[in-house]
Amino acid sequence: MRIVVVADIHSNLEAFEAVLAHAASGGPIDRLWCLGDVVGYAADPAACIALLRRYPRTAVVGNHDLAAVGELGTGDFNPMAARAAAWTGEHLSAEEHQYLSSLPFLVVEEDFTMVHGSLRWPEWEYLLSADAAAEHLRLQETPYSLVGHSHIPFVAVERDGSLPAMAALRDGDVLELGEERLIVNPGGVGQPRDGDPRASYAVFDSDACTLTLHRVEYDLEKAQRKIREAGLPPYLAERLAYGR
């Protein structure tokens, strides 16, 4: 099976379409694994949900998905994210609300646990430090796990007697999945934050037991234009160009 792993699409249809086209150019897409935050920030929430649902998939919920449907308060969001969450909620049908509300916090499939933030705080924790990775691994019951939320592609590998080893993942990096327990973040599709504006995703090849990271250019100007035309905060368009 060739499984495409996506996280933090954030209503950016141009980025999501580019990722799927790039993934399809490398072989069949047997399944999508989505690590949450399909919506929030950009201007195409309904189209991104529809595109996700076109594929056989497994998806967990993210904090922006919950905020858009009113199941998570936005008091802890920055004002632009809160404004985008309210806008998103108004631009989804009752059925789309229902779909986002139905997504679980955590899923186990094959040898992977999937969660948006971390196993400690599924919808909130930014898993970015070795300490946080250690706590997460303590709670992880499968060999591998996949997280999103920080929009930063990385791998954290468990180490006996010391903190996990964290490393950034770059375009074309291939992880051989073996005995080592690890955590992978495939980066953000719709709003990368590692300084590289290209959409980020990964492919899990279950026959070869590899995870490969990919970066893909997309029509960033079009996504920016839609954000501005929707009346969303202009900074949400600007930041796409910086990858922040």
Residue nearest to Zn ion (CB): 37
Measured from the CB atom, the residue of 37 and 135 that comes closer to Zn ion is: 37
Measured from the CB atom, the residue of 106 and 209 that comes closer to Zn ion is: 106
In the complex, the smallest distance separating the C-beta of residue 185 from Zn ion, rounded to whole angstroms, is 11
In single-letter form, the type of residue at position 26 comes to: G
Q: Are 40 and 11 in contact (CB under 8 A)?
A: yes
CA dist 82 and 66 (Å) reads 12
Residue 3: φ, ψ to 5°: -110, 130
**Rounded (5°) CA angle 104-16-57:** 35
Alpha carbon dihedral 45, 70, 113, 132, in 10-degree steps, equals: 110
Measured from the CB atom, the residue of 39 and 177 that comes closer to Zn ion is: 39
Residues that bind Zn ion (CB under 5 A): 8, 37
Measured from the CB atom, the residue of 37 and 96 that comes closer to Zn ion is: 37
In single-letter form, the type of residue at position 6 comes to: V
